[in-house]
Structure 1
Amino acid sequence: MNGSQRTRVRVLGNLNHDLLLTGVDELPQWGRETLGESRSLLVAGQAGYIASALGHLGATVAVCGVVGDDADGAQLRDELGRVGVDVSGVHAVPGRTGLTIALIRADGERAFVSDLGVSALATREMFLDFLTMTRADFTIVAGTSNTPGLTAADLAAVFSEAAADSRVVFDPGWDPNGYSAKTRAESLELLALVDLYLPNEDEAVAVTGADRVEDALRMLDAATRGHVVVKRGAAGSATLIDDAVHTVPTRRVRAANAVGAGDTYDAALLVALGEGRPLAGAMEFASAAAAHFVERAEDRYPRRSDLV
């Protein structure tokens, strides 16, 4: 594929709204209150952020996930549709759409509390049906740590089906239940079916139990049938090239809001790879996209013209 063609991406995973409260200097103690500076309600979940970023970057994107049959679910579908995302694979089921409250410090650090809502109702059959009805260059499965109805066996079936016509990409996000020995073993086993694994630094260390991110990267690379890129925030991103750790720095910015930056990185990486860039070059493009996203409080998603 070259730059004149649009990268086709299927996004499967968690969909919800994020309520962002910025300027929170300290987390409140029980029974007490603290003040923020501003708030915003956004289409989110990892699948939502990735699909939105892909739409802004001009990719051909279709998303599959679950929302409630409430006003929030309808709004989420409408907003994704407005940026060119095919939402025919988004299922509205009885119940409430998920919500995450993000408290954001002035330096961009954040803490999250989530109500999964109907996210637990995402099923293997739902994802498999979506795969049979769509075609793509990449299939990214994201945010599965917040879709508790899906087992490791379910994800293995989804990866195997997706591999029939696309490269399989995985970014499960942080597991709120922690990383037990069972969780680690299942995660590493799944990577044998994955072409591109995209954890952040904390997730990479937690999955492997390694003390250093470089050691975690090597362990994950050995388990993955393709490549691993570890996102390291302000420290950039890292992968293995010819058995050596290759780090791509990110542009230093004043962080307005880092929520969703890793998902924007994922989206830009896939667009660049779809256009035929080598992995290192695609990481540079993705780092530029994430930096653009982080330094803006509004109109955050980059467009191609922003990254030339």
Structure 2
Amino acid sequence: MGRVVHVIGNIQLDVLAGPVTALPRPGGDDVVERIAVRPAGAAGNVSLALAGLGVRHRLFGAVGDDQAGRWVAAELRRAGVGADLQVVHGQETGISIALEAPGRERAFLTAHGVLTNYGEGDVPVQACEADLVLLTGYFSIPGLRGEATAHLLQRARKHGAVTLFDTGWDPDDWQGGAVREVLELLPLVDIFLPNEPEALALTGEDDVERALATLVDRCGGWVVVKRGERGAVALGPPGDVVRISAPPVAALDSTGAGDSLAAGVLADLAEGASLPAALTTGVRLASTVVGRGSLDRYPGRDDLLAAVEADDDRVG
């Protein structure tokens, strides 16, 4: 039996439209190539990807009892990962609309719904009782920001868990107190998983490896920076830089790629792999997922793209 994995975070409905290069004019009705509706936010995406790999785990979060929530709950249960989902009566489900276009960063419109007030007291005690605990979608769960997340990470650490943390992008573009807020949480994190723009924003650096070094100093554990089509780069306490190149793939849908990378890392860590080895699987899984559509999104292990080599460099 592998190590016990728990995922805590935002579960919601995702709507994806693309390509979108501009908003319609007032009163207009622009036609785009595709609009997809699917479950289930960052935490749900990680969970569905883990389920695709056959990794037993538990998913903790909440949806409302509106039509969106009932559908998301049904899809998660169909995948075998909805047993711990809270469905809150009289509340609306969080929804994110992702606007995608080639050569541009995605943009999002989000209504948090039930996640606005989903707080520490709503997270079951057993959610932190695992060998590996991932808290993801931090900025999409306003009720868990700051002290509440600190308490969850502390509870997980007290139980002996390896803690993983993925914030997502700050909706205030890091202009408020978000930088200080996240940096204060990092000493409680064993593996931090920002993407490249997030890492640069958190550190004020313009170079990813300098940002890595700064974040490792604050975190004390591993920092993994997700770089999209360029794969990932990580730095750990021993001073080893690990660079994983992404295999070439014709990207159909990049939304949720970082969540799939986190799922691949968790899947291998659960089997006792080292972080560099697990990161290779994470990049393979993310690259595979972005080349698949919504109807057949999450692959099994036999369907992952070919492995890429990890380049470990010793730094002083």
TM-score (norm 2): 0.89
Give, in whole Å, the separation in 1 of the partners of 2:100 and 2:176.
31
Comparing 198-207 with 174-183, greater Cα deviation is found at 174-183
Any idea what the Cα deviations from partners look like across 1:251-277, whole Å, max 9, x if unmatched?
Answer: 011110000010011011011112122
Gap change, CA 1:250 and 1:16, over 3 Å in 2: same
Q: Percent identity?
A: 36
Equivalent residue, structure 1, for 2:289: 293
Does the aligned pair in 2 maintain the 1:61–1:86 contact within 8 Å?
Answer: no
Equivalent residue, structure 2, for 1:303: 300
Does the aligned pair in 1 maintain the 2:5–2:270 contact within 8 Å?
Answer: no
Give, in whole Å, the separation in 1 of the partners of 2:140 and 2:85.
18
Does the aligned pair in 1 maintain the 2:2–2:272 contact within 8 Å?
Answer: no
Any idea what the Cα deviations from partners look like across 1:141-179, whole Å, max 9, x if unmatched?
Answer: 111101112231111101011121421110011110221
Amino acid across the alignment from 2:208: V
Equivalent residue, structure 2, for 1:146: 140
Does the aligned pair in 1 maintain the 2:73–2:82 contact within 8 Å?
Answer: no
Q: How much does 1:34 deviate? A: 2.6
Q: Which of 79, 95, 112 is 2:91 aligned to? A: 95
1:246 is paired with a residue whose SS is strand
Q: Which of 98, 108, 114 is 1:112 aligned to? A: 108
Does the aligned pair in 2 maintain the 1:22–1:36 contact within 8 Å?
Answer: yes
Q: Which of 191, 205, 210 is 2:186 aligned to? A: 191
Unaligned runs of 5+ in 2: 307-316
Equivalent residue, structure 1, for 2:130: 136
Q: Which of 74, 84, 97 is 2:80 aligned to? A: 84
Comparing 253-262 with 96-105, greater Cα deviation is found at 96-105
Does the aligned pair in 2 maintain the 1:51–1:63 contact within 8 Å?
Answer: yes
Give, in whole Å, the separation in 1 of the partners of 2:37 and 2:84.
23
Unaligned runs of 5+ in 1: none
Comparing 28-37 with 109-118, greater Cα deviation is found at 28-37
Bigger relative contact order (CA 8 A; separation at least 6): 1
Give, in whole Å, the separation in 1 of the partners of 2:138 and 2:245.
28
Give, in whole Å, the separation in 2 of the partners of 1:244 and 1:8.
27
RMSD: 1.9
Q: Which of 258, 261, 266 is 2:262 aligned to? A: 266
Gap change, CA 1:175 and 1:93, over 3 Å in 2: farther
1:149 is paired with a residue whose SS is helix
Does the aligned pair in 2 maintain the 1:63–1:90 contact within 8 Å?
Answer: no
Amino acid across the alignment from 2:297: R
Equivalent residue, structure 1, for 2:239: 243
